[in-house]
Amino acid sequence: MEYIAKKLIGSVEYDGELVDVISPYSGEVVTKYVKCDINDAKKALEIAKRAFNNTKRSPLHQRIAWIEDVANKLKENKEYFALLITKEVSKPISQAKIEVQRCIENLELCAKELINLNGETIHTDATTTGVKSDSFYKRVPAGVVVAITPFNFPLNLVAHKIAPALGAGNSVVLKPTPEAPFVAYSFAKLFIESEYAIRDAISVVYGDADVGSELVKNPIPRIISFTGSVAVGKIITQNAGIKKVTLELGGNAATYVESSADLEKAAKRCAVGAFSNSGQVCISLQRIYVDEAVYEEFAEKLATESKLLKVGSPFDEDTFMGPLINDDALNRAKSWVDSAISEGANLIAGGAIKENNVFTPTVLADVRDDMNVVCQEVFAPIVSLVKVKDFDEAVEKMNNSPYGLQFSIFTNRLDLTKRAIEEFECGGVVVNDIPTVRFDIQPYGGVKLSGIGREGAKYALEEMTEIKSVVIF
């Protein structure tokens, strides 16, 4: 069977020149996609603009049934979609299965939240000038949504955008990551082929920066929803014009391990947070600030836990960590580790390149604040240990970053927990677990360079609607 992601311009599929998708693990061609250009992007936007006339008028019960139907179809094909994820991006199959399950739950949450997408009565008679009026507002579809998604969660992060967009009554043009086009194509087909589908409500185009640039600059979209790098996020904000822009960008997730914490639990969870999906998660644990009283003990425990993780073929059920996404990511990780070691960091686990683009789980101790592995987003299986004398120093160092997605703290002290919640400069705080924890029902997003806006069913629905205010005399 050949896995070809065709162009989906509205509800019509198109063939064309094919581009190979190479497995990060095997180096073999695993899927192909049809190359798109600027004209394809323009055509998709024009069709989405016309489709919006129907999506905005569609009854709510139809859109709810639509999303529920896709969730049910995904349930019936869980193994298939998990295998596709593993084929294209080499995510370990056990983690790919979790992503599919999360996607199902995400869709179900979105369908439920649509019922609660309400307006509000406004008391205009609170002022003397409004005494003879009644007022309320309602939420209405915004228009055409452009969704641009990354490789690390090629299914669920697509769902986080297109489900609330379509559910709210918008039309969508999706540009998925070129590393996993067939996952996105297959998922979009579930929407298109549903008995509740609104014709031409979703298009899928693939391509490079030219295609993305056209989607962003074109005057048709009302909303740009992007998950990816800070560099691209900056370009989008510069080029989008007057549009609603939601950006889920990079992170430099940190935790503080305080002396009263359960060090055994903290070490086990920190290994998971740092190395899940080979560290290719926006909230991958990258910086660990450890109380000097327990620093040596914790470092030893973390190194031990890291060495226990099984790396290798992503198709093996017991593999925890597979390869990095490509050679560039692998070489960058290696160079940053080598640079840190040359500057005085101590390698206590990992740091080696294995066959098939696997970079072993790497723990660096005695890391300084000016090293790339600390001050930049690594997006690789590398975690750095920094010794601190107390909570105040930890907070200062954690906040001294251009990123602010999620932080966490391990402690048994209530006073420090309360202070962490108030003083951490980030979009989310996790207590007694890793900052890599995300539940799809929560508002998710960051501050500073980590982004603008929030995802999560309820919050994405609000982002993808407009408020229409009404006054009646």
Q: What is the pLDDT along the chain (473 residues), one digit of tens a residue?
A: 789 999 999 989 999 999 999 999 999 999 999 999 999 999 999 999 999 999 999 999 999 999 999 999 999 999 999 999 999 999 999 999 999 999 999 999 999 999 999 999 999 999 999 888 999 999 999 999 999 999 999 999 999 999 999 999 999 999 999 999 999 999 999 999 999 999 999 999 999 899 999 999 999 999 999 999 999 999 999 999 999 999 999 999 999 999 999 999 999 999 999 999 999 999 999 999 999 999 999 999 999 999 999 999 999 999 999 999 999 999 999 999 999 999 999 999 999 999 999 999 999 999 999 998 999 999 999 999 999 999 999 999 999 999 999 999 999 999 999 999 999 999 999 999 999 999 999 999 999 999 999 999 999 999 999 999 999 99
- Give residue 185's Cα distance to chain centre: 18
Q: Which residue has the tokens 């995510």?
A: 91
Q: Where are the beta strands (DSSP E) in 272-335?
A: 287-291
Q: Reply yes or no on whether 282 is catalytic.
A: yes
Q: Name the active-site residue from 36, 270, 282, 426.
A: 282
Report pLDDT for 208. Answer: 87
Domain residue ranges in the chain:
4-249+450-472, 254-439
Half-sphere exposure (Cβ direction) of 139: Cα atoms closer than 13 Å: 21
Long-range contacts of 116-125 (CB under 8 A, 24+ apart): 116/458, 117/168, 117/461, 117/462, 117/465, 119/467, 122/469, 124/471
SS3 27: coil
Predicted pLDDT of residue 77? 98
What is the Cα–Cα distance from 440 to 106, expressed in whole angstroms? 6
Q: Is 375 annotated in the active site?
A: no
Q: Give the whole-angstrom CA distance, residue 284 versus residue 270.
A: 10
CA terminus-to-terminus distance, the chain: 65
Q: Distances in Å between the alpha carbon of 351 and those of 321, 362, 427? A: 14, 5, 31
Q: How many CB atoms lie within 10 A of CB 450?
A: 28
Cβ(87)–Cβ(117) below 8 Å: no
Cα(324)–Cα(319) distance, rounded to whole angstroms?
14
Q: CA–CA separation, 174 vs 397, rounded Å? A: 38
Asked if 171 and 202 count as a contact pair (C-beta separation under 8 A), the reply is yes
DSSP string, 164-187: HHHHTT-EEEEE--TTSHHHHHHH
Q: 106: how many CB neighbours lie within 10 A of its CB? A: 25
What pLDDT, on a 0 to 100 scale, did the predictor assign at position 131? 86
Single-letter amino acid code for the residue at 36: C
The interaxial angle of helices 263-275 and 295-308, nearest 10 deg, is 50
Which pair of tokens denotes residue 349?
Answer: 């686990």
3-state helix, strand, coil in the chain (%, to 5): 40, 25, 35
CA–CA gap between residue 271 and residue 203 (Å, rounded): 39
Catalytic residue among 214, 248, 462, 463: 248
Topology of the domain comprising 254-439: Aldehyde Dehydrogenase; Chain A, domain 2 (3.40.309)
Nearest to 149 by CA among 56, 214, 246, 219: 246
Residue type for 345, please? A
Residues 6+ apart with CB under 8 A from 295: 385, 387
- What architecture does CATH give domain 4-249+450-472? 3-Layer(aba) Sandwich (3.40)
Residue 155 · residue 233 · CB < 8 Å: no
Name which of 102, 86, 436, 103 is nearest 279 in CA terms.
436
The strand ranges marked E within 84-193 are: 120-122, 134-141, 144-148, 171-175
